[in-house]
């Protein structure tokens, strides 16, 4: 297949991905995390958005600034807020193609793009108004520039590497982990290649520039770390099984796909070890069979870089979670999933017959598309729009709304229009959701002033305990269950005199 045909297929595929991403983009309600992004980004000015990111959010400000200007230009509808994520997902696929083309043939890079395009794991996050797609694009751009330094080192490549890495750090705290990963890849390539370009001194200078330019946010982040220690996150310490569990997650939760993916990734490594080439054009199994094949470390370099790209963020976040606060989450290692899909494509390329290659590709894509379709029809996002509509339609004057967890008021407010209902949040200590009994007694004395209360349970760690408190003085008149939300109408218990 000629390069022009491959380019056409890639562009055509990216167009399909973009259009499919737009379909139904505003259908689902904003989830809690998306509403938090909206709250931070919808400040009157960019400066106030930066201040809000510093005060109330744990993430660097780049994504919030982007959403701030999106809201200024296109409004704050679900569609407008999620559109940047779709665009950055398409750009991430393009960067995956460019990286794959550096490592192997363009045809193999195309296979990686196809696998990533139908990944249920990636598709779950591209339709969210969150930072994940932006983080993926900037990380892939940084890695592409890093690998390009070994192909055609130039000042412009160095500039793009510094810029993409800097923006990566300003998009998410995991940018630090990916910067460490880049340094590991650089060390690996320097050790396993004969090239002296790029030099150590140039690399160190680039890292210093990046660190100096990110110092303003590091100062802010140090103050945030203290807050996190006082208010632990909802993440828990991972188990060792969570490390291989990352592969299963990248495979859409499908064990069969995960096993097939690991097998193909192993084949791509075995091809290098046995035949000493990362480019399938250079493999001649007939000539190699029965003969001692000289192995050159330089030919393992690109594949080793991809393996580091896949494993390092997972392992680093795992270790940090055990020696400090828990930060391990599969969604934060989203940029590493692209390395996994590239390794699968490289494993498929082991088979010289195109019929076998495309058969394997179709089987993997089919196994991914099935769960993708089920996720499309039943999204796992809170139904705040429906919950808010029910409460506003059925609430009467004097009613109160009680939220547990209390910060779930944010997505409700996005859809609510009435301002005649009293709103309360059940007291809790930070993100731990711990309930203070003395404070709860005072709180319920206040709530009892209302004849009816609408209790909204979502992200509720101690829901049963809160229910026990409420049922001491209230009866449940009705309950409606939505995805990840429970809405209970409670009325005072009838007295014995009644």
pLDDT for 495 equals 55
pLDDT for 153 equals 80
3-state secondary structure of 423: strand
**Per the structure block, which two tokens stand in for 382?**
């809170």
DSSP bridge partners of 434: 429
pLDDT for 58 equals 67
pLDDT in tens, 437-463: 666 777 777 777 888 999 999 988 778
Query: Can you list the residues of the chain whose pLDDT is less than 70?
Result: 56-58, 219-234, 269-300, 371-380, 428-439, 494-498
Non-local CB neighbours of 9 within 8 Å, separated by 6+ positions? 110
- CA distances 339 to 42, 130, 143, 263, 335, Å, are 35, 21, 11, 15, 8
pLDDT for 57 equals 62
- The sign one gets for the Cα dihedral 373, 376, 382, 385 is negative
Q: Residues 179, 208: contact at Cβ < 8 Å?
A: no
- CA distances 267 to 70, 348, 387, 393, Å, are 44, 8, 50, 59
Non-local CB neighbours of 403 within 8 Å, separated by 6+ positions? 409, 412, 423, 424, 425, 426, 456, 458
Return the closest-CA partner of residue 202 out of 267, 158, 235. 158
Q: Residues 115, 122: contact at Cβ < 8 Å?
A: no
CA distance 162 to 206: 7
**Per the structure block, which two tokens stand in for 69?**
């200007």
pLDDT for 29 equals 92
* Separation of CA 128 from chain center: 9
pTM: 0.89
pLDDT for 336 equals 95
Helices (H) and strands (E) in the chain, counts: 21, 5
pLDDT for 288 equals 38
pLDDT for 124 equals 84
Q: Please give the torsion angle defined by the CA atoms of residues 349, 18, 126 and 51, in that order, rounded to the nearest 10 degrees.
A: 130
Residue matched to tokens 């000493």: 276
> How close are the terminal C-alpha atoms of the chain, in Å?
84
**Per the structure block, which two tokens stand in for 245?**
């569990």
């Amino acid at each position: 297949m000629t390069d022009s045909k491959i380019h056409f297929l890639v562009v055509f595929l990216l167009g399909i991905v973009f259009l499919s991403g737009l379909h139904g983009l505003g259908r689902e309600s904003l989830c809690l995390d998306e509403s938090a992004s909206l709250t931070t980004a919808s400040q009157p000015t960019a400066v106030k958005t930066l201040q809000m990111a510093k005060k109330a959010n744990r993430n660097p400000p780049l994504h919030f600034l982007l959403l701030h200007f999106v809201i200024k230009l296109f409004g704050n509808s679900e569609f407008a807020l999620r559109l940047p994520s779709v665009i950055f997902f398409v750009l991430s696929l393009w960067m995956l193609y460019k990286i794959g083309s550096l490592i192997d043939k363009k045809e193999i890079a195309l296979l990686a793009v196809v696998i990533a395009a139908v990944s249920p794991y990636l598709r779950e996050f591209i339709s969210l108004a969150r930072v994940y797609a932006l983080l993926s694009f900037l990380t892939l751009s940084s890695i592409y520039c890093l690998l390009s330094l070994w192909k055609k080192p130039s000042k412009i490549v160095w500039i793009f590497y510094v810029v993409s890495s800097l923006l990566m750090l300003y998009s998410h705290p995991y940018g630090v982990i990916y910067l460490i990963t880049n340094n590991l890849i650089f060390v690996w390539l320097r050790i396993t290649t004969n090239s002296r370009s790029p030099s150590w001194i140039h690399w160190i200078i680039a890292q210093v520039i990046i660190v100096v330019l990110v110092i303003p946010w590091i100062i802010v982040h140090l103050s945030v770390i203290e807050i996190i220690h006082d208010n632990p996150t909802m993440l828990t310490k991972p188990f060792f099984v969570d490390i291989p569990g990352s592969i299963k997650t990248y495979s859409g939760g499908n064990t069969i796909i995960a096993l097939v993916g690991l097998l193909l990734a192993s084949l791509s490594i075995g091809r290098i070890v046995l035949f000493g080439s990362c480019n399938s054009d250079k493999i001649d199994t007939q000539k190699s069979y029965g003969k001692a094949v000289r192995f050159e470390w330089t030919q393992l370099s690109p594949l080793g870089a991809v393996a580091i790209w896949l494993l390092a963020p997972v392992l680093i976040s795992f270790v940090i979670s055990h020696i400090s606060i828990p930060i391990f989450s599969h969604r934060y290692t989203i940029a590493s999933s692209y390395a996994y899909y590239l390794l699968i494509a490289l494993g498929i390329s082991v088979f010289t017959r195109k019929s076998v290659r495309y058969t394997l590709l179709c089987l993997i894509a089919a196994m991914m598309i099935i769960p993708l379709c089920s996720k499309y029809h039943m999204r796992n996002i809170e139904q705040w729009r429906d919950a808010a509509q029910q409460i506003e339609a059925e609430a009467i004057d004097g009613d109160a709304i009680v939220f547990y967890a209390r910060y779930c008021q944010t997505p409700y407010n996005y859809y609510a229009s009435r301002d005649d209902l009293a709103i309360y949040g059940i007291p809790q200590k930070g993100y731990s959701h711990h309930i203070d009994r003395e404070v709860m007694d005072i709180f319920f004395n206040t709530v009892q002033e209302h004849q009816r209360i609408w209790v909204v349970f979502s992200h509720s760690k101690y829901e049963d305990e809160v229910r026990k408190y409420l049922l001491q003085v209230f009866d449940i008149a009705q309950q409606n269950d939505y995805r990840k939300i429970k809405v209970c109408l409670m009325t005072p218990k009838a007295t014995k005199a009644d």
